């Protein structure tokens, strides 16, 4: 073998040869020499360390403590609230009549456990509305009991995984008798506004129980949940007065309109727009012979529809809607 060619020892180490000089190069299998003392713990990199060294880069990024905050819930001085919750991603939360019945059963149990009083309810396909009377401290407890109990049932019954309800529940305080009646009418008219029914007679709301309670004859059956009808009926009189009050949507812009309108489905937005326009189609707002859509756009805005929703149903660009409704 030529002196300049490397040789391999029996132990696996390579001998690197140079003229008259032989150096032993450690093989990969040879363990590194150990120190008698353990190395000091490496200090965490500074927050402004370069990319890849614990700084703001994708590699070695330091974990930052984040806190998700929600707007503080408004407290009602009167103790009355309009409560509403929607399915996650607007998914259906009642697939059949058994689901509606089970929800009402969960509702009755939650009312009893939290000592809350129910004044109105309506179960739509992907959300529900309640008018409650309760202490502020018990409001979240009630919502937790109701939503968690029903979600467990629904997930088990329909083999559903994940969250059933969208975020936390919404609540708006009701501070006057006028707002109280407007909230009850709003809740009961949900099926009408969504064009599910022509009247408020809807099997999954408290409207029929009010009509029965306001009638002079004996009650045919007890409502499926404990319902307090005396307050509203004392202000509206008989069942006929209650029915007349619900025959039109009313012009009150009461407390829950603004947050509710932003969560309506496209079909519900169209229904609200048609009602505001006296039955006219919102897409005709920009059509001749109307010289300008200003009046109709402002009318839709007065119904607490967002700029985006108005632009969607009328076909008018957002910038124009914003300029006219500003």
The 127-133 sheet, strands edge to edge: 117-123, 127-133, 80-86, 170-174
**pLDDT exceeds 70 at position 292:** no
Supply the mean pLDDT for the chain: 77
Report which secondary-structure segment, H or E, holds 180: helix 177-188
Residue 132, strand partner residues: 81, 118
Residue 307 pLDDT class (50, 70, 90 cuts) = confident
- The residue among 104 and 300 whose pLDDT is bigger is 104
**What residue has token string 């190395």?**
39
Here the CATH number for the domain that contains residue 98 is 3.30.70.1290
**Is the same domain home to 117 and 238?**
yes
Report which secondary-structure segment, H or E, holds 123: strand 117-123
**Is the same domain home to 160 and 102?**
yes
Token readout for 202 is: 């809807």
**Is the same domain home to 139 and 206?**
yes
First-to-last C-alpha distance (Å) of the chain: 93
Write down how long the chain is: 326
pTM of the entire predicted model: 0.58
Token readout for 16 is: 């690197």
Number of domains in the chain: 2
Give pLDDT, residue 71: 59
Query: Hey, is 103 helix, strand or coil?
Result: helix
**Is the same domain home to 216 and 110?**
yes
State the average pLDDT over residues 91-113: 95
Residue 205 located in a structural domain: yes
**Is the same domain home to 239 and 308?**
no
**Is the same domain home to 182 and 216?**
yes
Give pLDDT, residue 81: 96
Give pLDDT, residue 290: 55
Return the closest-CA partner of residue 198 out of 264, 267, 271, 128: 271
Residue 34 located in a structural domain: no
φ, ψ of residue 141 in degrees (nearest 5): -65, -45
Q: Which domain holds residue 201?
A: 80-245
**Is the same domain home to 112 and 178?**
yes
Token readout for 29 is: 């299998």
**Is the same domain home to 287 and 166?**
no
Give pLDDT, residue 54: 42
Q: Quote the CA–CA distance of 51 and 58 in Å, as a whole number.
A: 8
Give pLDDT, residue 217: 61
φ, ψ of residue 42 in degrees (nearest 5): -75, 130
Residue 105 located in a structural domain: yes
Residue 55 located in a structural domain: no
**Is the same domain home to 107 and 232?**
yes
State the average pLDDT over residues 111-139: 95
Looking at 39-53, 110-124, 294-308, which range is the least confident one?
A: 39-53
Give pLDDT, residue 162: 85
Choosing from 211, 245, 279, the residue where a domain stops is 245
State the average pLDDT over residues 246-250: 79
Enter the DSSP assignment of 50.
Answer: P
Residue 237 located in a structural domain: yes
Give 150-177 pLDDT, tens digit per residue. 999 999 999 988 889 987 888 999 988 8
Give 194-214 pLDDT, tens digit per residue. 888 889 999 999 999 999 988
Enter the DSSP assignment of 60.
Answer: S
- CA-atom Rg of the chain in angstroms: 34
């Amino acid at each position: 073998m030529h002196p300049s060619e490397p040789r391999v020892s029996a132990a696996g180490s390579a001998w690197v040869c140079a003229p008259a000089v032989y150096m032993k190069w450690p093989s990969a299998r040879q363990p590194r020499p150990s120190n008698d003392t353990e190395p000091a713990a490496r200090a965490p990199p500074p927050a402004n360390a370069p990319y890849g060294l614990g700084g703001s880069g994708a590699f070695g990024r330091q974990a930052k403590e984040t806190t998700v905050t929600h707007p503080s819930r408004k407290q009602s001085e009167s103790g009355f609230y309009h409560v509403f919750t929607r399915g996650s991603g607007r998914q259906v939360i009642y697939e059949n009549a058994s689901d509606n019945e089970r929800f009402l059963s969960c509702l009755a149990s939650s009312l009893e456990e939290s000592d809350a009083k129910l004044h109105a309810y309506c179960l739509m396909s992907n959300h529900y509305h309640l008018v409650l009377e309760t202490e502020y401290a018990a409001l979240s407890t009630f919502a937790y009991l109701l939503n968690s109990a029903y979600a467990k049932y629904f997930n088990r019954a329909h083999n559903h995984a994940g969250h059933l309800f969208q975020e936390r529940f919404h609540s708006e305080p009701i501070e006057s008798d006028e707002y109280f009646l407007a909230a009850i009418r709003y809740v009961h008219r949900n099926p009408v506004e969504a064009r599910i029914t022509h009247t408020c007679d809807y099997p999954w709301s408290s409207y029929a129980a009010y009509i029965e309670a306001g009638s002079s004859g004996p009650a045919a059956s007890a409502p499926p949940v404990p319902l307090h009808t005396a307050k509203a009926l004392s202000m509206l009189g008989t069942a006929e007065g209650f029915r007349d009050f619900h025959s039109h949507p009313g012009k009150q812009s009461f407390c829950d309109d603004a947050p509710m309108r932003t969560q309506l489905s496209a079909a519900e937005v169209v229904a609200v727009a048609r009602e505001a326009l006296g039955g006219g189609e919102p897409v005709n707002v920009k059509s001749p012979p109307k010289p300008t859509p200003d009046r109709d756009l402002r009318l839709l805005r007065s119904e607490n529809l967002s700029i985006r929703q108005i632009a969607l149903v009328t076909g008018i660009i957002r910038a124009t809607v914003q300029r006219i409704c500003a």
